[in-house]
Structure 1
Amino acid sequence: MTVFLLFYGASCFFAGPLVQRYGPRLVLGAGLISWAAIMAIMGATSVIMVLLVCRAILGLGEAVLGPSISKFVQTWFPVHERAKANGVWFVGLEVGQIIALPLITWITVAWGWRSSFYALTLMGCLPVIVCMLYGYDSPAKHPRISKEEVEYITGGMQETKVQEKTLGTFAFLKLSSFWYSAVIYAAANAGFWGFMVWVPTYMKTALGFSFAKTGLLSALPYLVGTISVIVLTPLMDKTNARATFSVAGCLGFAITLFMAMSVTDPVIAVAVLCLANVFIMPVFPAVFTIVQNITKPTEVANATGVFNGCAYVFASIFPYAMGALYSSTGNMQNGFYLLASVFALAVLAGIPLVKNRL
């Protein structure tokens, strides 16, 4: 996981300019094709170094997701709908976790680990088709959109040169609000990936669940996280307080993670871990919306690339660090305490954003 996240984060810095130059539809489509192909190769090999190289290449291909989606959202949604739009695509990630964890566990138990990769290859073909058939770089390129809808999306103004194939600008690097948002997003990613990688192991090792039961229970936090995103993102748009929701989410996640590690009853521990996801998941659409709102149309792809790059390079440390702590101390809880402590930085970074009502 650390190999994947490190290469993902490093390549994000280059993904933004690619999206800005060639458009989100083409770049995202190419990225999606690479994901499916890499899954097939990983299923066919037994050499650990080949698997690690494939993980690195997967990180390179997946780096285009954030800038592409951010470009789509800023181009296709007016400001007062962007938190909901970001919530919808993030719900897609959550639904993927809800389906994948029990499904891949079942496939692995029934037919072995190779079959799980081949299944992911087949499933990976679907978003390629959807992207190429239904993705358009701008309202002006959509063959069936009405003039009224274009005016609604663009706020009644003539469509800007957002879609021109330029390299974009990097003026956002001077914005303190961008860097505060990046700190929050970095902490949220550390929490998400550390949580995703180690919660199933924690359920199996510390809480005593079987492998099959762990696959089912691991999906529960993502289910409640999805509900949280659906409920809270409209409130973010309505109150124009995305930063407030981000700070509250980071603080709540840290507290509930500490609580979960002090609980000995397995059922209660799972319930508290679910509550942790209720807090952390809405943070992602919130900070994406902030970045889309503070950057210019010619900057948003580049800004999201830098935003993602900083966050994922930082987050790449934590799956390995949590494993190292577990190996050296024999206590898996120490890794989760490390994860929770990172969120103190996120809360501090969010205070100026709350004051500016972003």
Structure 2
Amino acid sequence: MEFDLTKLLRTNILNLVPYSSARDEYKGEASVFLDANENSFGSPLNKNYNRYPDPLQMAVKTKLSTIKGVPPQNIFLGNGSDEAIDILFRAFCRPGIDNVIVLPPTYGMYEVSANINDVTLKKILLTPDYQLDMEAIAEAIDENTKMIFVCSPNNPTGNSIMREDIETLIANFGGLVVVDEAYINYSRQKTFIQELTEYSNLVVLQTLSKAWGLAGIRLGMAFASEEIIEVFNKVKPPYNINEATQELALEALNNVDQVNEWIRETIRQREMVIAEMIELPFVIEIVPSDANFIMVKTTDARGLYVYLVENGIITRDRSKVQLCEGAIRITIGTPEENVLLINTLKAYSTAK
């Protein structure tokens, strides 16, 4: 199906004249800035943050470009992936008219953003082995379906979605296919970023919150065609990424080797935890994981969750989520944390 961005956009967004900041209008070199009503004296800090930051974060995008292998103009930066998700709803979905498809069990912010923006959510359950129900998705699509969200590796299950199925969706759907790759650094599958030149309706979400260890600075990424990135930039607040975050991100992006070593160690630890846990009598199944967490199906998820909390270990009880009955989600910790987890689980087994 042919993709037409102008038909997909809300009319008011298509015609929107974005706010033009002082830094947008000015190009070149200057020594005196009297344009933006900033405090010219500085900041009450060791470093001055009295000037507005680069509204398009070009230094960070240029650095990311070398790491990700895509041009800066194909990158949007947001306050976490959540900002990119919200902008997609606001730009492409008419409140009370349009709908999007999500594939539960999956990341909860798609539903929250849909509800905030008064957009109907069509939920098509994954299959029992947590893959796409392609026939049901096809039946759910109508003329007002604007987006399909695919989380791969999926949260909370941890498995990757079959690449061929995602490609089939992108190739045959006239709206946007949003592939959320928050956990892609831990996956055996390759990113969909390299497919951007082939698919004009593809949006790929990633984050610095997981493998990069920067959850505290809230920096998410969206990769898409230049046309779609221009839409993001029209809708976002003028200075959506603050100067301190941009500086910290640039510093962190110089440490790729450290991040890669953490990824390798996390995967080693994940396999160790799985090998230990699968032997426990209350563990029914551990879903194969391509992420930095595992979903464990147990005989008593709530009891296990409470026991771990009582012993100072916080996990995520997912047992009330459809297709995740009896399951808890456990993040892979440091080697020391993982040993403590396993010993506590063994003590629970003995107590039972």
TM range (shorter): under 0.3
**Larger Cα Rg: Structure 1 or Structure 2?**
2
* Greater per-residue helix proportion: 1
Q: Give me the TM-score of the superposition, normalised by structure 1.
A: 0.27
